[in-house]
Amino acid sequence: MSVITGEALIGGIAVRGNGSDFKAWNPSLNAHIEPSFHTVDDDQIDQACRLAGAAFDTFRATTDEQRAAFLETVAAQILAIGDALIERAMAETGLPRVRLEGERGRTVNQLKLFADLLREGSYRDVRIDSALPERAPPRPDLRYRLIGVGPVAVFAASNFPLAFSVAGGDTASAFAAGCPVVLKAHPAHPGTSELVARAVAKAVELSGLPAGVFALLTGVGNAFGQAVVAHPEIQAVGFTGSRGGGLALMGVAAARAQPIPVYAEMSSINPLFLLPGALQARGFDIAQQFAGSLTLGVGQFCTNPGLVLGIAGADFDAFAHAAAAALGGVAAGPMLSAGIAGAYQKGVAGLAGQPGVKTLALAAQEEGKGGAALFVTSADAFLADKALHGEVFGPASLLVACRDVEEMRHVTGHLEGQLTATLQLEESDHAAAETLLPALERKVGRILANGFPTGVEVSTAMVHGGPFPATSDGRSTSVGTGAILRFLRPVCYQNLPQPLLPDALRDGNPLGIWRRRDGVLGKE
């Protein structure tokens, strides 16, 4: 049974928010859909955060195996919702079935990946420095491990109703770290959120964990999310969304009596570098693939290629022509919400109106839809106009014609921080790539060769992050096992008697995990 009642979940109990009502929007039908949802009020936020704080010590005291099993139970409960989840998500987002089924698989696999990480055990970065009693002064026995930071506020994303939402990467990594989660649902897919939240709450119950480990808060407006971030029990924030939204939460977090870290994934235009050899050898093919990457999911990906740098000349012109032609064949698709579509159309009109910018392709824009748009400008014009550097969320991209590789490098140095950069290259381009790589490393979290940035693997080595404003904290990733590091902090135990030490730190390595003893990794 998968009933959607429009309620929030606090302390494992479905409660009706005391604030203003709202309904989900079906972008394919252009209509609101039932039932009504309700915005939680300050008391309800306070209750959810307090319960999370109270649950923290019990939750983090679970063994890695217990938390791994919990994550797997969450995954199983999500699958148990069945097709009702896919149907509701389709209705609330306009995304096609195949995409949402894939996203559900990704969500489930993500939970399992963190379960594997917990069982392997080395995420705690255990370090032991042996006592040296004969040294002057004597060295004490020192033991170091990472523990959870405390309750985490997670803000669900509009564009991934499953993989970056209620039980998405932020929640999975916070749970893995032993941190309770207070989840702020995205108002674009509240029913999907409720279904998944009920699955999570069921998993909490089946695992014998305190109900405060998870809460779902529903609502519209910015104020209630900011109240969650301001709550003293919250110790970190995970967010995927707009630059304005992320900046606002950073401001709230910094203004607290106790400032807390915010991991906001905000804004990226993901530059694509067309190196000359590649452009000559396979410019037409790259143009087709580029058009596919740009319009995938109506361009609503953080890693959408919104900027293309090439070297001015016949090959670049041919690429531009081919890309524009390919985009002309893509029908405008429904965007996730009327707000996103409106912002996209405004952004496209803004780009089209900038001096020095020429429109290569521009689909007719219908209400609620996003039609592909392609523009071209010169490096000089691009460098002179910061309005060309911002993200237009949707299937729009800007080509920048550079004089040579050196100018490409120069433009790179003036870009804002990015999630990704992609090099299209042949072996003849390696020398050019070598001059670009140091500049790219300073600007981005992930550097690709001969691919497209859309499609973010969930694995051990992924970085979905990057210098500001790609993320608020470029030392982090929100995808892959590295994401757990956002919600951990080190504690050192000096001369603590063995019975008082956590298992991970005890003599004899009872957990059999990798540990660093006197600087040397091993499993002693």
Query: Is residue 104 within the footprint of a copy of itself (CB under 8 A)?
Result: no
Query: Is residue 384 within the footprint of a copy of itself (CB under 8 A)?
Result: no
Is residue 457 part of the annotated active site? The answer reads: no
Residues numbered 401 to 420 that lie near a copy of itself (CB under 8 A) are 416-417
Residues numbered 11 to 50 that lie near a copy of itself (CB under 8 A) are none
CB of 19 to a copy of itself, least distance (A): 30
Of 71, 86, 465, 511, which lies in the binding site for a copy of itself, with binding defined by CB under 8 A?
465
What DSSP designation does 138 have?
Answer: P
Query: Is residue 390 within the footprint of a copy of itself (CB under 8 A)?
Result: no
Of 379, 462, 484, 504, which lies in the binding site for a copy of itself, with binding defined by CB under 8 A?
462
Using the contact rule CB under 8 A, the part of the chain among 38-46, 345-353, 364-372, 440-448 near a copy of itself is: 440-448
Residues numbered 305 to 324 that lie near a copy of itself (CB under 8 A) are none
**Calpha distance 381→488 (Å, rounded):** 44
**Buried b vs exposed e over 204-215: b needs ≥16 C-beta within 10 Å?**
beebebbbbbbb
**Calpha distance 512→524 (Å, rounded):** 8
Query: Is residue 468 within the footprint of a copy of itself (CB under 8 A)?
Result: yes
Peptide linkage before 438 cis (omega within 30 of 0): no
Residue 358 or 475: the one with the smaller Cβ distance to a copy of itself is: 475
Is residue 302 part of the annotated active site? The answer reads: yes
Using the contact rule CB under 8 A, the part of the chain among 17-25, 37-45, 372-380, 434-442 near a copy of itself is: 434-442
CB of 427 to a copy of itself, least distance (A): 8
Residue 356 or 451: the one with the smaller Cβ distance to a copy of itself is: 451
Distances (CA, A) of 100 to 93, 96, 155: 10, 6, 20
Query: Is residue 389 within the footprint of a copy of itself (CB under 8 A)?
Result: no
Query: Is residue 128 within the footprint of a copy of itself (CB under 8 A)?
Result: yes
Site track 43-82 with a copy of itself (rule: CB under 8 A), x = hit: -------------xx---x---------------------
**Calpha distance 501→506 (Å, rounded):** 6
Residue 282 or 321: the one with the smaller Cβ distance to a copy of itself is: 282
3-state SS assignment for residue 127: strand
What's at 401, amino acid-wise? Answer: A
Residue 32 or 119: the one with the smaller Cβ distance to a copy of itself is: 119
CB of 198 to a copy of itself, least distance (A): 30
CB of 65 to a copy of itself, least distance (A): 17
CB of 107 to a copy of itself, least distance (A): 16
Q: What is the DSSP string of 399-448?
A: EEEESSHHHHHHHHHHSPPEEEEEEE--GGGHHHHHHHHHHHHHHEEEEE
Of 446, 478, 504, 509, which lies in the binding site for a copy of itself, with binding defined by CB under 8 A?
446
Residues numbered 213 to 232 that lie near a copy of itself (CB under 8 A) are none
Residues numbered 477 to 496 that lie near a copy of itself (CB under 8 A) are 477, 481-482, 488-496
Residue with tokens 């091993």: 522
* Residue in 254, 240, 215 with CA at minimum distance from that of residue 56: 215
Helices H, strands E: what count in the chain?
14, 23
Q: What is the DSSP string of 329-386?
A: TSPPEE-S-HHHHHHHHHHHHHHHTSTT-EEEEEPPPPTTEE--EEEEEEHHHHHH-G
Query: Is residue 448 within the footprint of a copy of itself (CB under 8 A)?
Result: yes
How many chain residues touch a copy of itself (CB under 8 A)?
A: 80
Of 47, 122, 280, 288, which lies in the binding site for a copy of itself, with binding defined by CB under 8 A?
122
What's at 201, amino acid-wise? Answer: A
Of 32, 346, 358, 475, which lies in the binding site for a copy of itself, with binding defined by CB under 8 A?
475
Residue with tokens 């590649």: 278
What DSSP designation does 50 have?
Answer: H
Per the structure block, which two tokens stand in for 20?
A: 């203003």
* SS3 annotation, 200-247: HHHHHHHCCCCHHHEEEECCCCCHHHHHHHHCCCCCEEEEECCHHHHH
**Calpha distance 502→145 (Å, rounded):** 9
Of 5, 63, 428, 460, which lies in the binding site for a copy of itself, with binding defined by CB under 8 A?
460
Residues numbered 494 to 513 that lie near a copy of itself (CB under 8 A) are 494-497, 499-500
Per the structure block, which two tokens stand in for 208?
A: 């014998």
Residues numbered 143 to 182 that lie near a copy of itself (CB under 8 A) are 143-144, 147, 149-150
**Calpha distance 447→275 (Å, rounded):** 14
Q: At what angle do helices 64-81 and 190-206 cross, to 10 degrees?
A: 140
Per the structure block, which two tokens stand in for 67?
A: 């938390």
Residues numbered 250 to 279 that lie near a copy of itself (CB under 8 A) are 250-251, 254, 258-259, 261
Residue 7 or 416: the one with the smaller Cβ distance to a copy of itself is: 416
Residue 175 or 452: the one with the smaller Cβ distance to a copy of itself is: 452
**Calpha distance 250→396 (Å, rounded):** 28
Catalytic, out of 7, 103, 194, 265: 265
Per the structure block, which two tokens stand in for 300?
A: 């609503």
Of 307, 463, 484, 511, which lies in the binding site for a copy of itself, with binding defined by CB under 8 A?
463
CB of 184 to a copy of itself, least distance (A): 22
Catalytic, out of 194, 302, 407, 416: 302
Which residues have a catalytic role annotated?
265, 302
